[in-house]
Amino acid sequence: MTSSRRLCHPVFLGPSVAALLLAAAGCSTTDAAVPITVPTPSPQAAAYCRALHEELPKTVAGLDRGDAGPKSELTAEWGDGEIVLRCGVPRPAKMDDPMAKGTEANGVNWLLEQSEDAGPRFTTTYRKAYVEVTLSAAYAHDASPLAAFGPAVRKTVPGL
């Protein structure tokens, strides 16, 4: 006598397996650097950016400078991408907005662009090369890291 064994209730593992995989992915870590888009400035702006790169601080807001990818004299990051600097970016269109918000930090004027899903982005104003600093959402209401860039920007990127 042959017996065929049947399950009374079908077993469906799809959602539980997917949840397990998502949980495992969320808990895993990688040492991959945060990818940063390298700007393509004019030769004159690139020269200012190379000079700025040499003067950038080793720490900002208690975060150590890291190795952002790809390596470039036009980019830098601190704290695994919590603070990202790009030099030689295009002039933001927001600078044409008379209602745009800005701030001054350690002798450098910055345009503020808020993001709904990320932290603030600041871009220097009145300089021969535009320097952009993007802060993580942890700095949504804190522009104090900008002060660390003031001396280097003033020394290497001339005003207009």
pLDDT in tens, 23-77: 333 333 334 445 789 999 999 999 999 999 999 999 999 999 987 778 899 999 9
Q: Give me the mean pLDDT over the 74-83 stretch.
A: 95
Element (H, E) at 15: helix 14-27
CB-based contact 83:136 (threshold 8 Å): yes
| Residue 67: per-residue pLDDT | 75
CB-based contact 59:77 (threshold 8 Å): no
Between these two residues, 18 and 118, which has the higher pLDDT value?
118
* pTM summary value: 0.77
